[in-house]
Chain A
């Protein structure tokens, strides 16, 4: 158990819909990262937040957005879903002194 909690574990929805994925980082970790993993793309970095502020951005689509709240939990919002958005979405939090990332178990999104 990494200490990072992601909900929901599985989600099935239809094209055009909107979903929200939630992540609770390890206690005391200020940074949260979101990654997308699909079969043909590997682990793709989406976005990083540090203490509520966006710190780094990867290839995150405009249909996707994220935020980190004052209690440090984070949400990834995916809208106007397409079939190609079906993937595992991982959240990670980091120990700032070492940069070690702790990953959650992921949220598996299936878009039908």
Chain B
């Protein structure tokens, strides 16, 4: 499985932007980049995903490097509720369905200070 590498932890102040990096140098052409987050005592929650182009949704933005070997999750204005563990994972596609073990790494623990 293609692996992802993320910093163990990051800190931010409330209402400031946060850039969470992820390296995935062995990504294959059919791998989508997905981000999930896990708030304390909850199951992981989908945040955003993309293939090649940058993506925006109501939660965050995803910036994907031109060579696709890295990506950055951008929270435009961090809130206390954004304090969570953020996971970057690669999801392969074939035959119209996802495949692979969808392995979660250790993720990045984001701390948001008031």
Contact = CB atoms under 8 A, between A and B. Distances in A.
A90 B43 contact: yes
Contact of B98 (A35, A90, A96): A96
Contacts, number: 62
Contacts of B42: 105
A27 interface: no
Contacts of B100: 56
Contact of B99 (A35, A56, A90): A56
B87 A99 contact: no
Interface residues of A, number: 29
Given A99-B91, A105-B42, A106-B43, A94 B98 contact: yes
Interface in A38-76: 42-43, 45, 48, 50, 55-58
A100 B34 contact: yes
Given A43-B87, A45-B103, A96 B43 contact: no
B104 A104 contact: no
Interface string B82-100: 0000010001010011111
B97 A101 contact: no
B30 to A, nearest CB: 11
Interface of A: 2, 4, 30-31, 33, 35, 42-43, 45, 48, 50, 55-58, 90, 92, 94, 96-106
20 contacts: A31-B97, A33-B102, A35-B104, A42-B106, A43-B38, A43-B87, A45-B103, A48-B102, A56-B100, A58-B103, A96-B96, A98-B49, A99-B32, A99-B98, A100-B46, A100-B49, A103-B44, A105-B42, A105-B43, A106-B43
